[in-house]
């Protein structure tokens, strides 16, 4: 069932997408790819979300009765499921199956035999305990791509330890860098960043493995540790430490090797971000400040010299920004070619014309909850754009359809499976 896209909604006058037609779906880049997702929360499931946005058939397997804990994580809604579930489980078929029972494991293998991808994020060894590990599943499908996401990966001394995004931020080196100088480390952005990053890396891995399958014709396992997804994005901290023994510390809103590159408060109380990544950009800022001579001063002309005088440079910029209203500083920066933006709340995002023009938000009419606003999918593609079918479904909503169409299980047999607690 496809959720209706409401074309008359007035929430922030949001741009709205069309329903996905069968003809359009057939042109999706991942049309014909079947993914079995037996994962919970966000990290591995977000990979399924990305693949589903671009046409893959996502069959999400959940435990009967309780389902994915993500259903209860975050803001609960009138339909019983959370907003994060409705958003991140979109375009997925909801199926229940107990893999711990032999009959459940057998049905799972039958599904895998006709699938392209399996996504899981149990603790290492759990799928093997059920006879459903990669080596087991490749025997029933020798072209299978399998993604395994765990806290520390499938190998190493910490492989069996549990972990969530917060732990990955800590172990991966990100939390150490987040916060004010000499203050306590903080959660970067108060989001499950490591989970989402792992899902993105997972989607890249799946696409690479599917491409490789076309040439080598073999099954392949993709192994991702949550902490690795964070660590890989920390620019030069590894080579800088290895080469020079430099340990980057927390710097609040500042950046280690450039200035002014920070957050500054306007005279009317709002905060803006200003980015200066080169000497050429500093010349623009100096001109906008009405102090063009700074760009040729030996004390400020180069990044190396400015970093030595970080506090002085930041103070000059802060005084300039603080002497004006938000509208004034944005206008002056735009006129001078200086990268500057107000630091947005979600309220600002909903009101901004750029978000509207780019259709970054869409309003749907969900059959269970009614009007609902979701972020649109990424990336934006000119010929095969992402497609929306429905928000996250009710527990087991598609069990009968999937088992009936793919495994030939009739309603009588399905009812027996339900009584046995297998589905």
262-351 matches 11-233+359-419 in CATH topology: no
Residue 22 clears pLDDT 80, i.e. is over it:
no
**Mean pLDDT, rounded, for 336-342:** 98
Look at 14 and 72; give whichever has higher pLDDT: 72
Asked whether 12 and 355 are in contact (CB, 8 A), the reply is no
* For range 121-136, the mean pLDDT: 97
Q: Which two tokens stand for residue 398?
A: 């598609």
pLDDT in tens, 351-395: 999 999 999 999 999 999 999 999 999 999 999 999 999 999 999
Distance from the first to the final alpha carbon of the chain: 21
Return the active site residues: 195
pLDDT value at 46 more than 80: yes
- Is pLDDT of 180 > 60? yes
Instruction: Give the whole-number percent of the chain exceeding pLDDT 70.
Output: 94
Determine if the pTM surpasses 0.75: yes
Q: CB-based burial of residue 190 (10 Å sphere; 0-12 exposed, 13-18 middle, 19+ buried)?
A: exposed
pLDDT at residue 5 above 70? no
Architecture of domain 262-351: 2-Layer Sandwich (3.30)
Opening angle at CA 122, ends 119 and 128, nearest 5: 90
Q: Show Cβ contacts of residue 348 under 8 Å, excluding neighbours closer than 6 positions.
A: 342
pLDDT of 6 over the 60 cut: no
Structural domain boundaries in the chain:
11-233+359-419, 262-351
pLDDT > 70? residue 3: no
Contact 73, 157 (CB under 8 A): no
SS3 sequence, 81-94?
CEHHHHHHCCCEEE
Q: Quick check: 11 pLDDT over 60?
A: no
Tell me the pLDDT tens digit for each residue of 85-99. Answer: 999 999 999 999 999
Provide the mean pLDDT of the chain: 94
Q: Does the structure show a pLDDT above 70 at 137?
A: yes
Confidence at 20, pLDDT banded by 50, 70, 90 = low
**Could you give the C-alpha distances from 100 to 63, 95, 97, 104, 131, in angstroms and in order?**
10, 15, 9, 7, 10
The structural architecture, per CATH, of the domain 11-233+359-419 is 3-Layer(aba) Sandwich (3.40)
């Amino acid at each position: 069932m496809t959720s209706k896209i409401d074309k008359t909604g007035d929430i922030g006058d949001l741009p709205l997408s069309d329903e996905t037609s069968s003809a359009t779906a057939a042109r999706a880049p991942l049309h014909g790819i079947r993914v079995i997702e037996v994962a919970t929360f966000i990290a591995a499931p977000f990979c399924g979300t990305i693949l589903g946005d671009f046409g893959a058939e996502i069959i999400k397997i959940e435990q009967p009765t309780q389902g994915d804990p993500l259903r209860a994580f975050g803001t609960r809604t009138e339909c019983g499921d959370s907003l994060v579930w409705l958003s991140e489980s979109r375009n997925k078929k909801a199926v229940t199956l107990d893999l711990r029972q032999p009959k459940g494991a057998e049905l799972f293998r039958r599904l895998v035999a006709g699938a392209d991808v399996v996504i899981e994020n149990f603790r290492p060894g759990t799928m093997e305990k059920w006879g459903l590990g990669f080596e087991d599943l490749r025997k029933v499908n020798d072209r299978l791509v399998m993604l395994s996401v765990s806290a520390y990966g499938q190998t190493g001394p910490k492989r069996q330890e549990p972990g969530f995004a917060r732990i990955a931020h800590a172990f991966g080196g990100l939390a150490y860098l987040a916060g004010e100088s000499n203050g306590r480390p903080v959660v970067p952005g108060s989001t499950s960043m490591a989970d989402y990053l792992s899902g993105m890396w997972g989607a890249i891995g799946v696409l690479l493995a599917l491409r490789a399958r076309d040439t080598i014709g073999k099954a392949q396992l993709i192994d991702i540790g949550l902490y690795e997804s964070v660590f890989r994005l920390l620019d030069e901290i590894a080579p800088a430490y290895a080469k020079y023994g430099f340990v980057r510390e927390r710097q609040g809103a500042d950046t280690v090797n450039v200035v002014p590159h920070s957050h500054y408060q306007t005279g009317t109380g709002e905060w803006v971000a200003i980015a200066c990544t080169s000497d050429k950009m500093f010349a623009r800022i100096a001109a906008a400040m009405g102090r063009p001579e700074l760009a040729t001063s030996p004390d400020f002309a180069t990044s190396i010299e400015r970093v030595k005088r970080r506090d002085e440079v930041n103070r000059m910029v802060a005084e300039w920004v603080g002497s004006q209203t938000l509208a004034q500083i944005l206008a002056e920066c735009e006129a001078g070619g200086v990268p500057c933006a107000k630091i947005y709340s979600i309220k600002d995002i909903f009101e901004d014309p750029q978000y509207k023009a780019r259709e970054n938000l869409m309003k749907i009419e969900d059959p269970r909850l009614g009007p609902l606003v979701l972020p649109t999918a990424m990336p934006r593609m000119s010929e095969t754009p992402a497609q929306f079918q429905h928000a996250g479904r009710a527990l087991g909503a598609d069990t009968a359809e999937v088992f009936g169409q793919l495994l030939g299980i009739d309603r009588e047999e399905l009812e027996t499976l339900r009584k046995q607690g297998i589905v």
